[in-house]
């Protein structure tokens, strides 16, 4: 067997085992980012309302409703995503929260000098899109429930 073919064979049999831990790490990382953000919003509620009134320009909701929806979305979807419960829905929910954050704060995020901040939102959006499309992996409550349901119907 050619050495390159041997390397490819090993990669093809080894790398799929890393899928579940990689998806778990992705869920925990991106979920943590939004969980901390949501916690900061609710722990400084007056300041959050001020930011939504003066800085964030949400196109669909008035400032108070946007603050409540954004904070709730960050907290609820991030916990669900980290647990891997309703994983695809949670990833889509956080993707929407992330997109709304970029839209609402575009005057800063799209300005010169803020490329790194925008890059973080792009990275989070990409990670959330992967989780929404490919699923949250075998180390999740969704997978546990699916196995349990499969065992019950067998």
Average pLDDT of adjacent 10-residue blocks, the chain of 154 residues: 88 91 98 98 97 92 96 98 98 97 92 94 98 97 94 68
Structure token pair of residue 138: 């075998």
Angle in degrees, CA 51, 55, 56, rounded to 5: 85
Check: CB of residue 109 under 8 Å from CB of residue 67. no
Query: What is the reported pLDDT for 103?
Result: 94
- For 88-122, give the DSSP string: HHHHHHHHHHHHHHHHHTHHHHTSTT-HHHHHHHH
Tokens 């899109």 correspond to 129
Query: What is the reported pLDDT for 75?
Result: 98
CA torsion 147-85-136-23 (nearest 10°) is -110
Tokens 């049999």 correspond to 13
Cα 30 → chain centroid: 5
Angle in degrees, CA 91, 39, 86, rounded to 5: 25
In angstroms, the CA 124 to CA 142 distance is 21
Q: Which of 38, 40, 23, 41 is nearest to 128 (CA)?
A: 23
In angstroms, the CA 26 to CA 81 distance is 10
Sign of the C-alpha dihedral computed for residues 143, 76, 58 and 122 taken in this order: negative
Query: What is the reported pLDDT for 153?
Result: 66
Structure token pair of residue 71: 């904070």
Query: What is the reported pLDDT for 35?
Result: 98
Angle in degrees, CA 36, 145, 25, rounded to 5: 35
Query: What is the reported pLDDT for 154?
Result: 57
């Amino acid at each position: 067997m050619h050495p390159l073919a041997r390397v490819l064979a090993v990669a093809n049999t080894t790398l799929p085992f890393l899928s579940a831990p990689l998806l778990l790490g992705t869920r925990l990382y991106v979920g943590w980012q939004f969980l901390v953000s949501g916690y900061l919003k609710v722990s400084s509620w007056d300041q959050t309302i001020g930011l939504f009134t003066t800085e964030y320009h949400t196109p669909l909701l008035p400032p108070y409703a946007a603050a409540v929806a954004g904070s709730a979305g960050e907290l609820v979807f991030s916990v669900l995503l980290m647990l891997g419960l309703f994983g695809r829905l949670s990833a889509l929910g956080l993707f929407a929260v992330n997109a709304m954050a970029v839209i609402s704060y575009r005057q800063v995020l799209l300005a010169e000098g803020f490329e790194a901040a925008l890059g973080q939102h792009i990275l989070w959006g990409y990670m959330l899109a992967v989780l929404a499309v490919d699923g949250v992996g075998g180390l999740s409550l969704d997978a546990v429930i699916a196995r349990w349901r499969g065992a019950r119907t067998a």
